[in-house]
Each structure stands twice: as C-alpha cells, then as structure tokens.
Structure 1
Amino acid sequence: MAAAISLEAGGSLAHDLGSAAVTAGVALALLKFFEELAKRGVFQQKLSRKLVHISVGLVFLLFWPLFSSGTYAPFFAALAPGVNIIRMLLLGLGLMKNEAMVKSMSRSGDYRELLKGPLYYAVTVTFATSILWRTSPIAIALICNLCAGDGKEKLPYNPNKSYAGSIAMAVAGFLASVGYMHYFHIFGFIEETWYMALGFLMVSIAATLVESHPISTELDDNLTVPLTTFLVGSLIF
C-alpha cells in the first residue's frame, strides 16, 4: 500500500513538473513574441504593453486544468509567474538588461517602471495560483479583472481615466470571469451558479470604480485593482 501511494505521488509530481514546463514554455513564448514585436516596432509602445497585460494572465489560466489535484500542484503552476517576479526585480533594479521586454511592458520605456505595474501583475498571478488556485472564484476574478482594458472619454473626477475605458473594463472583467467560471466548471473545479455570476459582476464593478479613482493613478491600478478584487471577493464568495 505504501509503495502504491509513493508511486502515485511520484507520478503526480512528474505530471505537474511536466505541466509546469509546458505552461512556462507557452508563457515565455508569448512574452518573447511581444518582445519581438516591440523590437521591430510593429505596435506602438502603449498598445504593445496593453496586449501583454491582457493576454498573458488569461492565457496562463487556460493551463491550470493541466495540473493534478496533488498538494504541490498549485506551487508548480506558480513557477512561471514566480520566475517572472524575479525577472521584474532584476530588470527594474537594473541588474539585468532587456530593452525589448522593458519596451513591451512599460509605459515610458523606463526600466524602473517594472518595479511597479509589471511586478504587481506577476505577484497577483502568483498569489492567485499558489494560494487560491482553481477552486476559488476569487482567483478567477483577480486575474480576469487585472487583465481588463482601458478607453478614451475622460471622467470628470479623473482626466487620466475614461467612460469608455471604465465601461470596457467592467464588461471585460465580468465576461472573462464568467467565461472562466464555465471553463473550470467543465473540469469539475468549480460550481457554476447565477449567484457566482452576480458576484463576479459586483466584483468587476467595484474593481472598475477603484481603478477609475485618482488614487489608482497615483499608486498603480495593478495594485489597487487586485486588492479591491480580493477584498470584495472575500465578502461575496
């Protein structure tokens, strides 16, 4: 019996290690793709940053079902964003150079920006993966609202934000959350309910309101949005 359990545990670890390698490979390939586009000047820097911001977290979520139900599975899954935390620190502190990556992830091209938004982004995804994992609606809401977008018409209380952007963020965050609720329900990780869908709507609205506030411009919306999502999500779910 002990030998069988040991073999099963070893199989799960090997499976999760392989899944982590696949997930990290896809994440790295996606980042390299955007780096290359930035290097070639295919997109403007602002658009390039937005594409990275929107796509990386949502694509990463797609790979969560690859992992086993083992105890260490979420930690293996968190390796890719965890490594990205280290990379953001090294780049942001100037200890490592990668001009194309800095260009694809920063607003102004200043490498020190990576110590704010991009670092908060990586920390949020790592936290959602390693601590909350795929049975938590808060994990879904965290990543989906973090990856939501921006727009153009100015808000009266914050000229740096917009009506179109705020509406787009709330709708995109909500629809992405509901989409991943259904996706994880297919694999049996989460229960698909109208209450949960309504909860996602409330969380997305709360995250959008905070994101549109001037404090999010002063701090960073990659910090304020996850904090709001986590706090409101903890009250609802």
Structure 2
Amino acid sequence: MGAAASTCAAGAVALGLVRGVQALRDRGALSAVAARKTMHTATGLVFMALWPVFTTPAARWWAAAVPAALTAKFIAVGSGALDDPKLVASATRTGDPRELLAGPALYGAVHVAATLAAWTASPAGVVALCALCAGDGLADVAGRRFGRGRLGPLPWSKRKTWAGSAACFAGSAAASLGMISYLRAAGVPLGVGSLSHAQLARGCAAAAAAAAAVESLPFQEVDNLTVPAAAALVARAALAPAAAR
C-alpha cells in the first residue's frame, strides 16, 4: 500500500472509531466518562495495530500524520477556531472546549513524538503508548469503580487508589506484551532482537511498574506525558537485545 493510501486508511479507521464512540454516547449506550475513557484507551491501540500497513522509507512520518491531524483538531476546537460539540462532549471532563488544549492535545502530541522518535527501531514507543492508553486509561476506570483503598498511607498521593495502580500496571504490561508480540508476528522489527517471550514479559512488566508508580503521583494534569515517558525510559533498558545474553 502506498504511503498516502496507508495514511488515509489509518486516518479513516481512527475517525470511524471516534465517530462510533460519539454515536454510542449520543444513544446513551456509553456515559460521558465511559466514552472519554474508551477513546483514550482504544485510539492509540488501534493506531499501533495499523503500523504494518506503513511500509515506505518515510513510514514513520506518514504514520505520525494520523495523530498529528487529530492533535491539530483538538487545538482548533479548543481554541475556538473550529466548532465540534460532539468531540467536546466525548473528549473532555467538564464540557469546556479549552480542556482539549490540555490533556487531549498532550495525548495526541505524545503519539506523534513516540512514533517519530522510536517507530519500529525500538519497543520504547510501543510501550510508552500502551502505558498511556491502556495503563493510564484503565487506572481511572478501576479507581472510580473499585477504588475503596486509597494510597493515603503513602505521602505523595492521597487521591489515587490501589485498584487504579494495579490496573495501570496490569493494563500497561498486558497491552505492551500483546502489541509487541502482534507487531513482531506481523513482521514489524522493533529492535528487540531474539528476546524470548519470557524476557519480553519481564521487560514489559518492569516498564509497567514504572508507569504505575508515576501514575500514582498527584500530577493528573501532566500524566499523559509523565506516564508514557517513565515507561519508555525503562523499556529502552529492559527490552534491549543485550538483555538476551
């Protein structure tokens, strides 16, 4: 598939996902919170699942154009240059369009940065996005639903919960291992050499632990950046091919 065709196909899938979530929210099948978290969790995972269609030498740039376009829309709507009430309703906590300029725009920017910086040469980008999408996304869901035990005894965060931290770890680890295994099977090189499944699992778990630890910190406004950054830094070391020796 050509570069432009790959970008258009990936963009169409991403747009279809967003519109589908919005439709479910409009029909009452998803609450506002569920719609926002579904988009947060699914968008990046679907994006990475489409990486095998990008095969040209400039593939990372064409792939990065997909989240870049979404980020540009967040900024346009958040700044008032574009009107999209459905996007505001499904992607913000308060219904204020300006909220898109914070967490959602940062979410998109991290996708662009991870794609351009790591792409298929390193698993760090995949692990970072899995921590952001599955880890951070599930942490909020689990914390709201099962978060009776607070991290209160720990001095750095009295609002976060053990359930949320556990979900962040489990979601990050499972998504990272699953996505790396899938891309590897699809013939996408990820710079993991001949690491065995067990070694991949240990590396993903280490990165997930770092993501969960950072997610537990009381910095909700920037966790769309700090959580994937922590996961990526650990993944670079824990999933290096040298670990196979």
Runs of 4+ in structure 1 displaced over 3 angstroms?
A: 234-237
Residue 204 (1) aligns with residue 208 (2):
yes
Q: What code does the residue aligned with 2:129 have?
A: I
- Counterpart of 1:111 in structure 2 is 97
- TM-fit CA distance, 1:111: 1.2
Taking structure 1 as reference, are residues 159 and 38 closer, same or farther at Cα in structure 2, changes over 3 Å only? farther
- What one-letter code is carried by the residue in structure 1 that aligns with 2:171? A
TM-score (norm 2): 0.84
Matches within 5 A, 1:1-237: 15-68=2-55, 70-147=56-133, 148=135, 149-150=138-139, 151=142, 152-153=147-148, 154-156=150-152, 157=154, 158-188=157-187, 189-190=189-190, 191=193, 192-193=195-196, 194-214=198-218, 216-217=219-220, 219-236=221-238, 237=240
Aligned AA (2:8): A
Partner of 2:82, secondary structure, is coil
Identity over aligned pairs, percent = 32
Contact 1:38/1:100 (CA < 8 Å) preserved in 2? no
Root mean square deviation of aligned Cα: 1.7
Shift of 1:38: 2.7
The answer to whether the 8 Å contact 1:134/1:184 transfers is no
Deviation at 1:113, TM superposition (A): 1.2
Q: Deviations over 1:89-120 (max 9, x none)?
A: 11111221111111111112111111111111
Unaligned runs of 5+ in 2: 241-245
Using the size of structure 1 for normalisation, the TM-score is 0.87
User: Does the residue aligned with 1:107 lie in a helix, a strand or coil?
Assistant: coil
Which residue number corresponds to residue 11 of structure 1?
Answer: none
Please give the alpha-carbon distance, in whole angstroms, between the structure 2 residues aligned to 1:160 and 1:64. 37
Structure whose alpha-carbon radius of gyration is higher: 1
* Deviation at residue 34 of structure 1 after TM alignment: 1.4
- Unmatched tracts of structure 1, length 5 or more: 1-13
